[in-house]
A and B are shown apart, each in its own frame.
Chain A
Amino acid sequence: MGNIMFKEKDLVVPGDVLAEGMDYLPSGGCIRDNDKIVANHLGLVTLENNRFVKVIPLTGKYIPKIGDTVIGQVVDMSFSGWYLNINGPYEAALMVKDVAEFIDKDADLSQFYNFGDLIVAKINRVTRYSNINLTTKGPGLRKVTGGKVISITSTKVPRVIGKQGSMVQMLKEKTNCNIMVGQNGIVWIEGKNPNDELLATEAILKIEQESHIDGLTDKMKEFLESRR
């Protein structure tokens, strides 16, 4: 019978032995080393279904996953599409065929998206060689103009969004801003006046800093109300 050598939500460091024996399986953030499961990321460890050991990393670059909505900036163009910087290890490709607009065969692609444009897109394919394909077909996927952009650690994104979007919904209401959070940590904020945008920026950076605190949504509500 195997041994579990951690408590739920323990902070682990690469090299920490998490479990012994073959009864458990590594499922992300850790690897099997003979009969042991060893952490290979710095993060919080959990046991899923009494069988899968998983380390949720606290640091690191954004790792693209299929289905994620990300915000990227156009950094390159070719005949067949655009290349976006999505804050990850690789550039992501947005092909002409994956774009919502109808694009004529000989059209000048820069008329649709140009260098420096910010695009909200969804990841629709990631190959083994880390070629990332994006699409803008879908609700809410488009080029964004105006507003401002800030960047946070991608591992903190779930906190900014909150349970079922509770946090971001509250932020939108309290700051009168339109906020879009990409899974890659890029946040786009657009407000009616600059002060609203600044307030929203401050709030989001505060969430990133204090992401470990319990009941953060209520705390942020108080913070925003005190600033109104």
Chain B
Amino acid sequence: MSYTKRNDGRKFDETRKMEAKLGVIPRADGSAMFKTGDTIAIAAVYGPRELHPKFLQDPEKGILRCNYDMTSFSVPERKKPGPSRRSTEISLVTEKSLLPVLDLKQFPSAVVDVFIEIIQANSGTRCAGITAASMALAHAGVPMRNLVSAVSVGKVGDKIVIDLDKSEEDYEEGATDIPVAMTGNHEITLLQLDGSVSKDELLKALELAKKGCSEIDKLQRKTLRDFYKGVKDE
């Protein structure tokens, strides 16, 4: 039996309902929330600030530190708090997906800290985290040449779909999930794949990701603009 209809009734190329908000953490230098379906990520940015201990500093450029974590209540089965193999990996790939757009040359020996917390998880958390972090960085005024948006695409059964939810990821006949992050110019900054897809399927999936990322990029820009709307009306 092939996968003919998505569990939540979406079209195969339709993302879940997305929502974004800026300034959710007033104490932080920049913060944002991004929500797609039931997946909610919040991101807070602190810095640029001086980095201690000193041996971690890079006198040529500022460094970026990302920290991804899931709250213990974000999943049906309690998640043990604290770093894990998985969260360490995701922190690293988040950092690598954001770094290409940041210009930290102006801030030698400094650090920009990004904290991503998943409040509710239903797949696509790293993508939601990256999207939220990108907005938070813009809100914090860190120089960046473009925004980054991320979406997961994949193969469920024999269909190429976008923005998988948990039930699709666990599809019995096999599912492959491919998180993709792109800049506003569709330059790919993150592509993870574990599972199996053919070359044609991958290209098709990437085309779908491009479409999804454009949508998210539009939402990000709108959110950032709306937050400062009063200023524009001056």
Contacts and interface: CB of A to CB of B under 8 A. Distances in A.
A10 B232 contact: yes
Contacts of A113: none
Interface in B199-229: 220-221, 224-225, 228-229
Nearest to A130: B108
Contacts of B224: 13, 42
Contacts of A214: 234
A66 interface: no
Contact of B140 (A10, A44, A59, A212): A59
B213 to A, nearest CB: 12
A175 B142 CA distance: 36
B231 A14 contact: no
Interface stretch (A33-41, A165-173, A180-188): A33-41
Contacts, number: 91
B124 interface: no
B146 A89 contact: no
For this complex, into which size category does the number of interface residues on chain A fall?
20 to 34
B11 interface: no
A59 B139 contact: yes
Contacts of A57: 141
Interface stretch (B43-51, B83-91, B163-171): B43-51
B138 interface: yes
Interface string B177-188: 000000111000
A11 B59 contact: no
B225 A13 contact: yes
Interface centre among A61, A211, A213 (most CB of B within 10 A): A61
B221 to A, nearest CB: 5
B60 to A, nearest CB: 10
B24 to A, nearest CB: 15
A49 B74 CA distance: 54
Most chain B C-beta atoms within 10 Å of own C-beta, residue among A9, A11, A15, A31: A15
A89 B110 contact: yes
Given A11-B225, A15-B184, A89-B50, A40 B234 contact: no
A194 interface: no
A60 interface: yes
A68 B184 CA distance: 36
B23 to A, nearest CB: 10
A102 interface: no
B50 A40 contact: no
B138 A42 contact: yes
Q: Which of A10, A14, A44, A130 has the most CB of B within 10 A?
A: A14
A130 B144 contact: no
Contacts of A129: 59, 108-109
A130 B109 contact: yes
A89 B48 contact: yes
Given A89-B47, A89-B50, A58 B228 contact: yes
Most interface-central of A13, A41, A58, A129 (chain B CB within 10 A): A13
A11 B147 CA distance: 15
A64 to B, nearest CB: 12
Interface string A180-211: 00000000000000000000000000000001
A9 B232 CA distance: 7
Contacts of B34: none
Contacts of B140: 59-60
Interface of B: 29-30, 47-50, 59, 101, 103, 107-110, 138-147, 183-185, 220-221, 224-225, 228-234
Interface of A: 9-11, 13-16, 31, 33, 38, 40-42, 44, 57-61, 89-91, 129-130, 211-214
